[in-house]
Amino acid sequence: MFRLIICNCFDIIICMNIVKFVWVYLKNYKSKFILGLLLSALSIFFMLILPQITQLFIDSIIDFSNTDLDRLSPFWTVITKIFGDILFSNLVTTLCILFLIIVLLKNIFEYFSLQCLFRASSNSCGRLRADCFRKLSKTCCFPQKSEIYVNFTNDISDLFDLIYKSYPQFFTSIIKIILALTLLFLVDIGSALCITLFIILIIVVGLKTLNKAVKNFNDIRNRRSRMQQVAEEAVSEIREIKIFNREEYALKKFGLASKNHSDSNIKGFGFINKTMLVLDILKVTGFALAILLLALSCFKYDISIGFFVLGFSYSLIAVTAAKTFVDSIQDIWLRLVRISRAMKFINEGNSPKLNNLSYGEKLDIKINNVKVDLNESRIFENFSLKLPYGKSYGIVIGQGEGKSAFAKMLLKFYNVLEGNIYIARQNINEIDVCSLRNQFSYISQEPYIFEDTLLNNIILFDEYNKERLEETILLCGLKTLISKLPNGLESNLTERGVGLSSQEKQKINFARAIYKQAPILIIDSSFNKFSKAFSQKTIKNFLDLYKYKTVIILSERIEDVEFCDEIIYIKNGKVEESGTLKQLKDSKKEFYNYFRESESTNE
Non-local CB neighbours of 195 within 8 Å, separated by 6+ positions: 181, 184, 286, 287, 290, 315, 318, 319
pLDDT greater than 70 at residue 233: no
Sorted by where each begins, the domain ranges of the chain are 25-345, 365-602
Task: Summarize the confidence of residues 301-308 as an average pLDDT.
Answer: 77
CATH of segment(s) 365-602? 3.40.50.300
Task: Place 1 in a pLDDT band, splitting at 50, 70 and 90.
Answer: very low
pLDDT above 70 for 307? yes
Give the sheet arrangement for strand 377-387, strand by strand: 377-387, 365-374, 418-423, 426-427
- Quick: pLDDT tens for 398-427: 877 788 888 888 888 777 878 899 998 888
Give 257 or 390, the one with higher predicted confidence: 390
Q: How far apart are CA 531 and CA 534, in angstroms?
A: 5
Is residue 113 over pLDDT 60? yes
**Mean per-residue pLDDT, 148-172:** 76
Neighbours of 517 (CB within 10 A): 16
Which of 19-23, 36-40, 228-232, 556-560 shows the highest mean pLDDT? 36-40
Q: What is the chain's Cα-based Rg? A: 34
pLDDT at 173 exceeding the cut of 70: yes
Q: What is the spatial distance between Cα 336 and Cα 43, in angstroms, rounded to a whole number?
A: 27
Q: pLDDT averaged over the chain? A: 78
Among 65-79, 467-481, 497-511, the range scoring the smallest mean pLDDT is 65-79
> 159 Cβ partners below 8 Å, 6+ apart?
22, 25, 121, 124, 125, 128, 335, 339, 342
Question: What does the pLDDT read at residue 250?
Answer: 61
Q: In the predicted model, is pLDDT for residue 83 greater than 70? A: no
> What is the Cα–Cα distance from 102 to 52, expressed in whole angstroms?
11
**Does 353 have pLDDT greater than 70?**
no
> pLDDT tens-digit profile of 321-339?
988 898 888 888 777 777 7
pLDDT in tens, 496-512: 777 888 888 889 989 98
Residue 245 phi/psi, 5° resolution? 65, 20
- How far is the C-alpha of 428 from the C-alpha of 298, rounded, in Å? 83
Structure confidence at residue 225 (pLDDT): 63
Instruction: Domain 25-345: state its class.
Output: mainly alpha
Most confident of the ranges 48-52, 124-128, 587-591: 48-52
Count of CB atoms within 10 A of residue 4's CB?
9
- At 174 the pLDDT is 92
Q: Is the pLDDT of residue 16 over 50?
A: yes
Task: State residue 168's pLDDT score.
Answer: 92
pTM of the model: 0.56
